[in-house]
Amino acid sequence: MKILFVRSTEISSLDRMFSHLPVRFPSLIYFYHKALTIPILAALTPKEHTIEIDEGQFKDINFDNPCDLVAISTITRYALNAYEIADEFRKRGIPVVLGGYHPSALPDEAKQHADSVVIGEAEETWPQLLKDFQNGKIKPFYVPTRPVAPSLIPHPRLDILPKGAGVGVHATRGCPYGCDFCSITHMKFRNKFRMKPVDFVIDEIKMIPNKTFFLFDNSVTINKKYSKELFRKMKGLNKKFIGYGNIDLFGKDEEFLKLASEAGATMWMIGLESIYQETLDYVGKKTNIVKEYISTIKKIHDYGMLIFGLFAFGFDTDKLDIFDTTDAFVSKSEIDVPYFHTLSPEPGTPIYKKLDAEGRILTKDWSKYSQADEVVFQPKHMTPEELLYNTYRLRENQYKLSNCFNRIYRARKIGTYVFFESAWSNLYMRHIIHAYAPKQGPAC
């Protein structure tokens, strides 16, 4: 049986260019990485079956590729594209399976475009689906009955990806924090934190042909004992990586910072979210204490690593002064790569359910749930236009050439490698904020 895996996504000209370049900096993988969903499903697929991969928008897909089953993975932003692709394959008589964050959140919607929907984690359900399909008894929905045990998560099939593709590793799965806006932790069983055996993870890192990779874990700081053991064994692998972490541990545990740096960490993606403690408390971001931000950022710098700081705007506690106050804070705090986006309430999250119940969701055109150039809900203390254009104004100011060069110049004091990492990241971010510039003039 031939199975075609399809990743519903958008592939720009820059994507195509960078996908053929050697990955020299881990931050490049953040923007141009290949998700592990399909390589893991491929590893779970019996070898008797033939596997092929396609990806992109509707226009990019080869619908003439003969296959027996199509499996499509999608997030909310690309859900409508996934549905269009699925509908076309089904018109041609080819059964379709849908899975990923969006179909898991809205399985009944997804089922309108598929023969079957895989909800949540697929390590146990995917092999059963294949057996049922071969026996002509495929079910409409496949739902896991328990969190997947780490021992059942195989090494991904990296051999099916393009040569040199930016890839990463999942050392752990799940996150126990449950922030109201997070689509990951509100997916079935993803609030259960699980750790793979350290030696298994080390073997997986060694399988990566590149010298750089992305540690894809929802947060590397959840279990510091485990992460420290992992870092100790990573030392000497001669790899560079970036990963997600919560700011609280970075400020409290310098041994963690030392071991991470020695293991090859160059940058931490940190969800700072807001500089207002009231907002953080409101959305359940228990790990963030605003008054500790600046001192913690300095500690991370002291150990030769950069901070990619993520901020979201549009929470019910946000008022118009949040933008200028954040602008001043970012400059003062010496965050190396600031990232600003509008809140995008994803289906399945508490914040989406609240806004939907209050009649404040403005559209269910999922293609607009990008966090970049659209506002899909009615904010409490500003108009959608004010939210969109003030976020863009903040991006534009922080990514003036003078501000970019100031951040790059500062990074040279931290280390030579991270100096070039900072240069690439800042100049690339400057490019993409213009790519996502609002199409109309300010309305505020």
Specify the pLDDT at position 355: 97
Give which of 221, 394, 301, 109 is closest to 231, Cα–Cα: 221
Q: Give residue-wise pLDDT tens across range 95-142.
A: 999 999 999 999 999 999 999 999 999 999 999 999 999 999 999 999
CB 242 within 8 A of CB 269: yes
What is the secondary structure of 117-132 as a DSSP string?
EE-S--TTHHHHHHHH
Specify the pLDDT at position 21: 53
Residue 48, phi then psi, degrees to nearest 5: -70, -15
Contacts of 130 (CB under 8 A, 6+ apart): 1, 45, 46, 49
Specify the pLDDT at position 302: 96
Cα 2 from chain centroid (whole Å): 29
Between vectors from CA 243 to CA 353 and to CA 237, what angle results, nearest 5°?
155
Specify the pLDDT at position 433: 82
Specify the pLDDT at position 162: 79
CB 326 within 8 A of CB 311: yes
Report the C-alpha gap between 301 and 270 in whole angstroms: 14
| Range list of H helices, 216-318 | 224-234, 247-252, 254-263, 277-282, 293-302
Q: Which domains does the chain have, with CATH numbers?
A: 2-24+36-142 (3.40.50.2300), 167-435 (3.80.30.20)
Q: Give residue-wise pLDDT tens across range 141-171.
A: 999 999 999 988 999 999 988 777 778 899 9
Give which of 154, 91, 86 is closest to 100, Cα–Cα: 86
CB 107 within 8 A of CB 141: yes
| Alpha carbon distances (Å) from 371 to 151, 199, 293 | 35, 37, 24
Report the C-alpha gap between 95 and 207 in whole angstroms: 33
Pick out the chain residues at pLDDT < 50.
440-444
CB 148 within 8 A of CB 121: yes
Report the C-alpha gap between 78 and 7 in whole angstroms: 9
